[in-house]
Amino acid sequence: WPEGTAVLYLALGCFWGAEKEMWQLPGVVTTAAGYQGGFTAFPLYEEVCTGQTGHTETVLVAYDPAVLSHTELLRTFWTLHDPTQGFRQGNDRGTQYRSAIFTTTPEQAEAAATTRALYEPELRRAGFGEITTEIRPVDGEGGAGPFYYAEDYHQQYLHKVPNGYCPVHSTGVACPLPD
C-alpha cells in the first residue's frame, strides 16, 4: 500500500455489504473480508458461523487519512448499521454479527471513542438503546488479535454477485461531527 496508508478493522454485521460500502469511499486504498476478535487461529467461515470461535465478520479498510479522516470513516461505520443490536444485524443473528471497531493507532481509538460519545445520544433521542459496539486495539493486552482473511469467494462478494443478499442495516440516524 502507498506510504501513509492507515488500516482500521470494522465489524458491522455481514461483511459482504459492509465491504461494498467501504470500498466505495473516497480515499480507500483497498478492503478485505475476514474474521477477527476471537480466539481461534485461522478460522473457516463454517467455524465462525457456529459462534464457537469468538470472531466477528470484519472488514479490513486500508485508507489514506489525508483524504478520508479517521472520524469520517467512523461516522460512516456508525451510520451503516445499528450499533445497539448486540449479537445481530437485521435477520442475521450470532456473535459473528456483533459490532466492533479494532484500531491500529491511538488516533483511531480516540476518534472511535469520540464518535461513539457523539452518536449514542442521537440514537437514544431516536428511540434506540445503548451502543453495544466493542472498541479494542488490534495489539496488546485485551487486543482483538490478528485479522484472518476470509475465503476467496467472500472477497468483494457483492462485486462478483451484484444481486447477492447482505444489506447494511442503517438506523437512519446521522452521526454528528466533533467540534
From the number of C-beta atoms within 10 Å of its C-beta (0-12, 13-18, 19+), residue 9 rates as buried
For residue 78, how far is the Cα from the chain centroid? 9
Closest CA to 97 of 108, 120, 81, 77: 81
**Would residue 166 show up in a list of annotated catalytic residues for this protein?**
no
Residue 45 CB-half CA count within 13 A: 12
d(C-alpha 40, C-alpha 54), whole Å: 7
Chain length of the chain = 179
Query: Which of 14, 49, 166, 175 is the catalytic position?
Result: 14
Q: Which residues are catalytic?
A: 14
